[in-house]
Amino acid sequence: MFSIRSQLPISASVSIPAEQSQSISTIPGGRKIETVPEKEGLLVFLGTKSVGEYALNILGQNIPRTMTGKKTYDILFLNETTKNDFDKKKTEFTFPGANRSHLQSSNTGVAVDAGINFTVMEMKSMLPKDLTPGRYDKIYLIGDGSAGLPLLKCGDEFLSPTDIVNRLVEHNLHEVEDIRLTSSHSANITKNNDFSPEEIEKSTKTNSGWLASALFGQKRSLAEHVYAEFEGRGINVSVSGYHGTGVFYVPEHGKPTTHLRSTTVPATPEQTVRRSDYRVSLGRTQPTDID
């Protein structure tokens, strides 16, 4: 099986009414009860021109779920152009000889290749018109970024906080209310050199002088910029960012069963941590799930 683990990406990234469908279950004795389907996350790519080199990055958001037997998250594209581009490019990462037993292989490379293969096969790409109302309780914005820079790179486009919010609101995605930026250093004003409490605190503080602040405004993380844009419009949501750079596979850590962040590219094993432990959330009731 040809291995692409060396190519795994480093860096990370409609109407949704309140109602949701119910299903009917029958229990012993003939009684019927209504059950509400469990809500799930949705990956969202806000670019409108192409996915560029982001096909594997997008797949990487689901690889830990495939490796642990969870259902893959759907991926939403805003138009046919980007959806078709992704659907075409993702086929480059399939392995005809892969089977599910490979996911349990003691050879981590073989397991990773199988994980990518089944992610390609099972991940559903969608357009806004395809979304099921009330199905999602959080969205993950796919793209790349830099510490303290108010831009999200999506394929060939650079989106400002205004662009990001405009596109979410246009498709009523803000109604999901839990928005997470997976891009690199989305919670940082400056890059963190490690994950110590002191370094994390330092990376969230601006070191701009009074003149720079007066001329260019207070420096913020991307998550803070996006949250401020929502707040300025009177839209009540939670916006989350993450410290460090997103990485999907670190050989020394074994199989990729959870999302990771690191301080270096390529990842330094001793400076690689679980993503959910370094999430910063702004706004309404804070998310409590581990993801």
Chain segment 245-288, per-residue pLDDT in tens: 999 888 888 999 999 999 988 888 999 999 999 999 999 755 55
What is the DSSP annotation of the chain? ----GGG--B-------S----EEEE-TTS-EEEEPPPPEEEEEE--SS--TT-HHHHHHTTHHHHHTTPPPPEEEESSHHHHHHHHHHGGGG--TT--GGGGG-SSHHHHHHHHHHHHHHHPPEE-GGGPPTT-EEEEEE--B--TT---EEETTEEE-HHHHHHHHHHTTGGGG-EEEE-STTTT-SS--SS-SHHHHHHHTS----HHHHHHH-----HHHHHHHHHHHTT---EEEEESSEEES--GGG-S--S-EEESSSSPPGGGEEEGGGGEEEEESS---S--
Mean pLDDT confidence for 182-197: 96
The pTM for the full model equals: 0.83
Chain segment 139-159, per-residue pLDDT in tens: 999 999 999 999 999 999 999
Chain segment 57-98, per-residue pLDDT in tens: 999 999 999 999 999 999 999 999 999 999 999 999 998 889
Return the pLDDT at 107: 94
